[in-house]
Every structure is written in C-alpha cells, then in structure tokens.
Amino acid sequence: MAGFRSALISPYENYQLFPSRNFTDQTVRQVLRLDGGGEAVRIRLSNRYGKAPLTIGAARLARRTEGHGTDPETSALLTFGGKSEFTLAAGEEGVSDPVPGRVSAGEELALSLYFPHDTGLAAFSAIASETGFVAPGDVTAARSLDGAEELVLSRYFVSGIDVLAPEGTAVAVAFGDSWMEGAGTTPGSNSRFPDQLNRRLERGWVVNQGISGNRLLTDEIGEHAFARLQRDVIDVPGATHVLLNFGLNDLGHPGSIDPHSPQPLPTVDELVDGYTELARRLHEAGLTVIAHTIGPYAGTVFEGYDTEEGRAVRRKVNDWIRTTDVFDAVTDVAAAVEDPADPERILPAYDSGDHLHLNDEGTKAMAAAVDLAHLKL
C-alpha cells in the first residue's frame, strides 16, 4: 500500500539562545516547501516544548503564489480528529486529518494558523531560512495578508508535513546541526544542503532534521542526537537512510557559550564512541547510515569557538570517519568545502561570511560531494 512519507520535517525547540515570542488573536502564515510529491498531505503541529495548552482556532492550507499570497481555489480547511478548532496540551503533538489532492516535489504551500488566545512563548525553529508572516485576527482564509509583519528566518509550531507517496518511496533523513538546517544560506532560496541534494535526485527525497547549534553528545540547543534519535529519525515515515552531520558544536560550543569560562571539550574517544553507538542504533532500526566528516571553521567570528585543541580533535575524528567501517558510507564534506591553501578554513567562495557556515554555493558543493549510489533512493 502507499504510505505517508515525510516531505518536510524539522524539529522545533524552545531555544534559550534566541528570542522567542508569543501570539494573541493573530494569524501566522508560514511557507512550507515539499521535498516530495504524492496524493494527499497532512500537517504535524507541536506543543512539545510548550508550558501551557495551545489552542488553534482555525488552520488552512493553500498553494503559495508569492510572498504571503495564496491561491484561494486551493485553500483547504484543516481538521484534527475532525475538529477545526482544537487544543494541544503542553507537551502534546498533533497530526491533521489528510487533505486529498496531488502535490509535487518543490511545490510551496502556505500554512495559516489562527491563535485566538495567548500562546505563551512559542516553540520554534530559530533558523529555518524561510520568511513567515503574522497579521491580526483570523485571516486564515485571506488571499493575502495586508500589512503583515514578517517573521524572518524562524518557523513556529510546525514540525512537519507528511505526503501520501507511492509504495516504495524512500526517504533519507538529514540529521545534524546548522550545516543540515541551512544557517548561512539565503532565506527563501531553498539552498539548504537537503534542498541542494534533492535537486540531484531522480527519485526519493531528503528531509531536513537539522537544528542549528545541535550537538552529538550534550543537550544545549535542542536535545542532543541520542535524545532525539527516535522521534527525529527512526519515526520519520518512510525513512530508509540517514545522513549524519555532527561534531562542530561539540567542539566549538564549550568555549563559545561562555568564552570566559570554557567547558572541557569532548575527547576523540568520546566522539568516536558517540558516532559508533549512534550508527549501531540506526542500523538496529534498519537504516543505511552515511556519515559526514566535520567541516572546517578556523577564524570564525564566534568568540571562543575556534581553538587549537578543537582543531586537533576534528582532524583526528575526521581521520577515523574516513577509514572506519562503522558506517555504510562516508561523505567527505570537509574536503569538499575546505580551502586547499588552509584546510582548517572554509574556501572563501563557500563561506557565508562568519567562517563557520556555508553559503548557497557551499551547500551546493556539499551536496555534490554525496555519492548518489550510496543513497539508492
């Protein structure tokens, strides 16, 4: 039978290092780009990190035209358990009833959510690299939102879109940090690494489960990789492969969160053990595991992130990643984007400007380094 496959997934943490906000008697319209096509869609909403019940007074889904505009002929009322108004308890997640209708890879949908009561600080993705919009009142059915306020970069309460895909459709999960999520790329250009890789694929698709600032071993910005492994990878509908990009923040954040009181860096053995256990659990779940080497970051503008100790650990861990048989395949991301004249640094043509994140050309080079034969989608 055909089954629902995740076409856009991204975890939405209540980040402590980025300012959140609340919504009251307002409509939030957010642009969601589909990574794959099928015969129906359903929306996933999350109050997982909320402290109080979250009431959605109305929700609609429509094809986006441009900006905050929508095609009214495609507008569909969303229901959850048959209800058009519903409440998610604190810590609860919800999935809408399916909305029938053919959708295609690359198509952009606009999700409009009306919040009649104060939401409290919203659970959100801080660096989604896509603009959203907020307007007063219930204007979920409006063609456009006159005088709308732009929500730059962040995305609120949405944790995914599932697509009813043909039987046998394969899904690769891009699991990791900002190099997966897309920090540094042009907002609204769909130039994140998963977007770039999807452009190379003839079948199957890659979904984005990156969290900027996320770590392999330690909770900090979002739960660490092991804590979110089941929800964000194994439970993704249709998941067959996983691409891993971790380690940057394990090496950089101990010194950058509080440069005046740096924490100990993980050792080579600790990172290797973490990767090994992560691969074991993913293999146990039946997934093909493709690991990325840790990218360069020397000279980054973030104080305390770049240290000689961290660089030495990165080199040794990368040597291990390149030669181990723990993974099914390896993509040498570091080699693909480093400056040949100084391999500790990102090639200037690929540098977003902060010497830590890739720009649009950098993520394109990162995606080009993936051997599609390893995906077998």
Where residue 336 sits, what CATH number does that domain have?
3.40.50.1110
High-pLDDT (> 70) share of the chain, %? 93
Once rounded to an integer, what is the mean pLDDT over residues 158-164? 91
Higher pLDDT, 30 or 254: 30
- pLDDT tens sequence across 264-302: 899 999 999 999 999 999 999 999 999 999 999 999 999
pLDDT digits (tens, 9 = 90+) for 320-360: 999 999 999 999 999 999 999 999 999 999 999 999 999 99
If one counts the domains in the chain, the total is 2
Residue with tokens 């108004």: 85
118 and 245, same domain (yes or no): no
Residues 223 and 149 in one domain: no
**Two tokens, residue 244:** 């891993």
The residue among 171 and 128 whose pLDDT is bigger is 171
Residue 260 φ/ψ, nearest 5 degrees: -85, -10
**Whether residue 184 sits in one domain with residue 96:** no
Q: Do both 327 and 344 map to the same domain?
A: yes
Of 161, 196, 222, which one is at a domain's C-terminal end? 161
Q: State the average pLDDT over residues 69-92.
A: 95
Residues 250 and 346 in one domain: yes
pLDDT at 204: 85
Same domain, 257 and 153: no
Average pLDDT, the chain: 91
Give the pLDDT score at 167: 87
Residues 134 and 186 in one domain: no
Domain match, 60 and 97 both: yes
Question: What integer is the mean pLDDT of 127-144?
Answer: 92
Which ranges in the chain belong to alpha helices (H)? 178-181, 193-198, 225-229, 248-256, 268-284, 308-323, 333-337, 360-368, 372-375
Q: For 309-318, how does the pLDDT look when each residue is reduced to its tens digit (9 = 90+)? A: 999 999 999 9
Last residue of a domain, which of 105, 129, 161? 161
Overall pTM > 0.85: yes
Rounded CA-CA distance 177/185 in Å is 14
Q: Are residues 151 and 274 in the same domain?
A: no
State the pLDDT at residue 247.
96
Could you tell me which residue, 111 or 260, shows the higher pLDDT? 111
| pLDDT one-digit tens code per residue, 191-224 | 999 999 999 998 889 999 999 989 999 887 788 9
Co-location of 157 and 175 in the same domain: no
Least confident interval from 35-39, 255-259, 345-349: 255-259
Q: How confident is the model at residue 11 (pLDDT cuts 50, 70, 90)?
A: very low
**Confidence (pLDDT) at 27:** 97
Residue 227 scores a pLDDT above 90: yes
Show the DSSP H helices in 182-297 as ranges.
Answer: 193-198, 225-229, 248-256, 268-284
CA 14 – CA 330 distance, rounded (Å) = 32
pLDDT of residue 168: 85
Distance, CA of 297 to CA of 11 (rounded, Å): 25
Q: Residue 303: what pLDDT?
A: 92
Domain C-terminal end among 131, 161, 191 = 161
Do 343 and 225 reside in the same domain of the chain? yes
> Confidence band (pLDDT; 50, 70, 90) for 17?
low
The answer, yes or no, to whether residue 39 has pLDDT greater than 80, is yes
Residue 265 domain boundaries: 170-375
pLDDT score of 9 = 38
144, 191: one domain: no
